[in-house]
């Protein structure tokens, strides 16, 4: 792929310098390197100018390949590089995002053609890996929902740090099997014990957490699909509310020092069962009154199981059409790797409890994503506009109107303080899982509204 190619390399940091060696070992001729620190880099005469001089460099050096060797690069920048190189019909390859590299067993860097995830969901948020390592090193970490998209990538990243053990908890035995094989190549090993547990059942949760005795709990288990939860609001109560209460109770019982509740930007708009249930989870987490117990709120994880991107690809392949809900609907997007890295980054925040919100890049119009899927698959799928489903917002937001974002020690991170809600009062209101699941949909919606506000 690289042999004999006259190559322009964008970025000459740690990753870029490693890529330079790999490209040359693969037979490429790296003619020129662009880096915004070009005046400060000594010992590499091919560092020619800043990234903004890309068009001039392409015109002057006659390269036939552009490789982006900067892991911390935004989707907007990748789109711009693609556009500039496209003027000369030059292909572009990108490096994996930094969080993706951290999940690789083989750190020998690779490149790929930019995918939709790269073009729409890579952000400029920098993660302090050293701080994460200092917090999780030598600790026992329990991850609920370990088989899901965020849970799986979080576990993969934790495996690269010197943690004592990572407990994998999920109610799906097939997903548990898959992640165990993915991480260790074996069904079971002491460092990654498996817990086949449904968070709706307090006894199961208590048994797993008491036996593993974690120092840190990352609670990613949740139901997340708007349409499904609108039709079944009692499930939002039983999994997202009662399940979170159960994990909080067990974590407090064993005195886990740090707890991260994975939330969503839909908790800010609080439209529908999903947003309401996740906001209640934020309130309960703050209601524990422990400084190490906090929530993290971010946007849609592009490419995750059941995501809008996954749905669009299926619709285009099998039905030759893509249905977009609302002509100007927009969402915040981030990659799975970034989401997992931000979950771990939340552990390092020195501020008091509350919900940490990452200031993501501009929201993306959903119709743009649909058009990109059509282009990616090379099909002639029709894009149809349909009304929003109940429980859906036209535009997502990161903060509720009454919330006052507080600055933190990290410029891209803000903190809000949901009204605390005592876990015990929620458990008393809901009763048992059987009581919750027996609720009529309207009763369940009423309780969600009551607990959220």
Residues 108 and 133 in one domain: no
Residue 227 falls within a domain, yes or no? yes
Going by C-alpha positions, the residue among 89, 451, 94 that lies closest to residue 282 is: 451
CA distances from 157 to 294, 349, 395 (A): 20, 18, 31
The pLDDT, as a whole number, for residue 393 is: 84
The pLDDT, as a whole number, for residue 389 is: 84
Residues 350 and 246 in one domain: yes
The pLDDT, as a whole number, for residue 37 is: 84
Residues 189 and 159 in one domain: yes
The pLDDT, as a whole number, for residue 413 is: 86
CA distances from 54 to 7, 33, 73, 78, 93 (A): 12, 10, 15, 12, 15
Residue 311 falls within a domain, yes or no? no
Residues 150 and 295 in one domain: yes
Residue bearing tokens 């008091």: 352
Long-range contacts of the stretch 222-228 (C-beta < 8 A, 24+):
222/145, 222/262, 222/278, 222/281, 223/274, 224/264, 224/274, 224/306, 225/274, 225/306, 226/266, 226/272, 226/273, 226/274, 226/389, 226/391, 226/392, 227/389, 227/391
Phi, psi (deg, nearest 5) at residue 37: -100, 25
Residues 95 and 141 in one domain: no
Residue 421 falls within a domain, yes or no? yes
Residues 286 and 181 in one domain: yes
Residue 275 falls within a domain, yes or no? yes
Residues 154 and 253 in one domain: yes
Long-range contacts of the stretch 419-423 (C-beta < 8 A, 24+):
419/283, 419/286, 420/283, 420/286, 420/287, 420/289, 421/280, 421/283, 421/284, 421/286, 421/287, 421/451, 422/284, 422/287, 423/245, 423/248, 423/249, 423/284, 423/287, 423/288
Q: Report the C-alpha gap between 114 and 93 in whole angstroms.
A: 6
Residue 322 falls within a domain, yes or no? no
Question: Tell me, what CATH number does 150's domain have?
Answer: 3.40.50.720
Residue 123 falls within a domain, yes or no? no
Q: Report the C-alpha gap between 8 and 67 in whole angstroms.
A: 6
Residue 379 falls within a domain, yes or no? no
Phi, psi (deg, nearest 5) at residue 295: -115, 160
Residue 296 has which token pair? 């993290």
The pLDDT, as a whole number, for residue 203 is: 97
pTM of structure: 0.82
User: CB under 8 Å to 358, separation ≥6 — which residues?
Assistant: 123, 125, 296, 297, 298, 342, 412, 413, 414
Strand 140-144 versus strand 165-170 pairing type = parallel
* End position of a domain, from candidates 51, 80, 114: 114
Domain that holds residue 47: 6-114
| Number of separate helices (H) and strands (E) present in the chain | 20, 20
* End position of a domain, from candidates 49, 84, 114: 114
Residue bearing tokens 């890579």: 122
* End position of a domain, from candidates 49, 82, 114: 114
CA distances from 331 to 71, 120, 250, 334, 398 (A): 23, 11, 34, 10, 10
CA distances from 135 to 128, 183, 192, 337 (A): 11, 21, 18, 19
Per-residue tens of pLDDT for the chain, all 453 residues:
788 999 999 988 877 888 888 889 889 999 999 998 887 887 888 999 999 999 999 999 999 999 998 766 788 888 899 999 999 999 999 887 655 554 544 444 567 777 787 777 666 567 788 899 999 999 999 999 999 999 999 998 898 888 999 999 999 999 998 988 887 765 557 789 999 999 999 999 999 999 999 999 999 999 998 889 999 999 999 999 999 999 999 999 999 999 999 999 999 988 899 999 999 999 999 999 998 999 999 888 887 777 888 899 999 999 999 999 988 899 888 888 888 888 999 999 887 789 999 877 678 899 999 998 998 888 889 999 999 888 888 888 889 989 999 988 777 789 999 999 999 999 999 999 999 999 999 999 999 999 999
Angle, helices 336-346 vs 129-136, to 10°: value is 60
Residues 144 and 107 in one domain: no
Beta bridge partners of 294: 260, 354
Integer Rg of the chain from CA: 23
Residue 327 falls within a domain, yes or no? no
Residues 86 and 54 in one domain: yes
CA distances from 17 to 4, 21, 96, 237, 292 (A): 19, 7, 14, 50, 38
Residues 260 and 348 in one domain: yes
Residues 358 and 262 in one domain: yes
- CA angle, residues 69, 70, 73, in degrees to nearest 5: 135
Asked if 107 and 45 count as a contact pair (C-beta separation under 8 A), the reply is no
Q: Report the C-alpha gap between 222 and 186 in whole angstroms.
A: 26
Structurally, how many domains does the chain consist of? 2
For the chain, what's the residue count? 453
Residues 102 and 201 in one domain: no
């Amino acid at each position: 792929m690289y042999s004999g190619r006259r190559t322009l390399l964008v970025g000459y940091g740690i990753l870029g310098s490693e890529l330079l060696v790999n490209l040359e070992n693969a037979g490429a001729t790296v003619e020129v390197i662009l880096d915004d620190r070009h005046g400060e880099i000594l010992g590499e005469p091919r560092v020619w100018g800043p990234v903004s001089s890309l068009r001039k460099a392409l015109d002057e050096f006659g390269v036939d390949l552009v490789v982006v060797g900067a892991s911390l690069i935004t989707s907007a920048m990748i789109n711009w590089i693609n556009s500039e190189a496209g003027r000369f019909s030059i292909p572009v390859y990108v490096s994996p995002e930094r969080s993706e590299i951290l999940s690789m067993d083989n750190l020998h860097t690779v490149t790929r053609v930019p995918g939709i995830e790269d073009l729409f969901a890579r952000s400029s948020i920098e993660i302090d890996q050293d701080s994460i390592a200092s917090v999780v090193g030598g600790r026992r970490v329990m991850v609920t929902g370990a088989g899901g998209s965020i849970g799986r990538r979080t576990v993969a990243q934790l495996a690269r740090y010197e943690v004592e053990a990572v407990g994998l908890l999920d109610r799906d035995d097939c997903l548990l099997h898959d992640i165990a094989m993915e991480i260790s190549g074996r069904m079971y090993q002491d460092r990654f014990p498996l817990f086949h547990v449904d968070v709706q059942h307090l006894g199961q949760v208590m048994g797993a957490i008491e036996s593993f005795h974690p120092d840190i709990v990352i609670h990613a288990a949740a139901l997340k699909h708007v349409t499904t939860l609108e039709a079944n609001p009692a499930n939002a109560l039983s999994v997202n509310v009662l399940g979170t209460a159960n994990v909080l109770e067990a974590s407090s019982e064993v005195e886990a020092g740090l707890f991260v509740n994975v939330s969503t930007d839909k908790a800010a708009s609080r439209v529908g069962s999903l947003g309401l249930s996740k906001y209640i989870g934020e309130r309960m987490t703050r209601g524990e009154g422990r400084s190490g117990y906090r929530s993290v709120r971010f946007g849609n994880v592009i490419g995750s199981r059941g995501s809008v991107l996954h749905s669009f690809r299926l619709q285009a392949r099998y039905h030759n059409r893509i249905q977009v809900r609302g002509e100007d609907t927009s969402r915040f997007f981030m990659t799975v790797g970034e989401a997992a890295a931000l979950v771990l980054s939340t552990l390092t925040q020195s501020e008091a409890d509350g919900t940490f919100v990452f200031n993501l890049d501009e929201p993306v119009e959903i119709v743009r994503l649909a058009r990109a899927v059509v282009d990616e698959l090379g099909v002639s799928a029709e894009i149809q506009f349909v009304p929003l489903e109940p429980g859906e917002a036209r535009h997502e937001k990161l903060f509720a109107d009454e919330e006052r974002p507080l600055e933190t020690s990290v410029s891209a991170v803000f903190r809000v303080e949901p009204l605390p809600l005592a876990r015990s009062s929620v458990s008393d209101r809901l009763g048992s899982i059987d009581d919750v699941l027996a609720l009529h949909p309207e009763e369940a919606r009423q309780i969600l509204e009551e607990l959220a506000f």
